[in-house]
Amino acid sequence: MSTTNEEAAAALEAMRESRARLAAAANCPPERHLAFAGLLGALVASQAASPFFTLGIEGLVFIGIALVVLWDRRRTGMFINGYRAGRTQRVTFGLLAFALICLGLGIWLKLAYGLVWAPVALGVVVAIVAYVGSSVWQRIYLRELAETP
């Protein structure tokens, strides 16, 4: 009977160690949060440009997203999708809703009132909120990894 308990304890400890290694690998540097924030802010700010240039900027943003995924995989060997179950989901969907509202507001202000600068200003706000949101998302994710199963 004690062998089974010892085996279970060893398996649990191995799982904890594995989660600790995953948490260490998943700990993003500030420039990773900055890259995410810049890309999301650029999507909103791009609405200030003419439609042709907006599409070009959006294309560059999608290339930037691919480069961030490659960067993550090179740095950690994995890419962690932000749309995951758990407490991080609230941060993800809150940030997505905020960005979409700002995107729509920027387009509306530009088209209805001629405020071409509005999408740029809102893009800066989105970038700031995205940086904070990305940092909060990571803290929650790392806390979830550290919790005992």
Which of 47, 55, 42 minimizes the C-alpha distance to 108?
47
Burial (CB count within 10 angstroms: exposed 0-12, middle 13-18, buried 19+), residue 53? exposed
**pLDDT of res. 17:** 73
Specify the pLDDT at position 52.
96
Total domains present in the chain: 1
> Looking at the chain, how many residues does it have?
149
Residue 15 domain boundaries: 2-146
Output the pLDDT for position 39: 98
pLDDT of residue 44: 98
Please give the chain's pLDDT, 149 residues, in tens.
567 878 776 767 767 776 666 666 668 899 999 999 999 999 999 999 999 999 999 999 999 999 999 999 998 888 888 888 888 999 999 999 999 999 999 999 999 999 999 999 999 999 999 999 999 999 999 888 887 66
- For residue 40, give both structure tokens: 């999301």
What's the pLDDT score for residue 40? 98
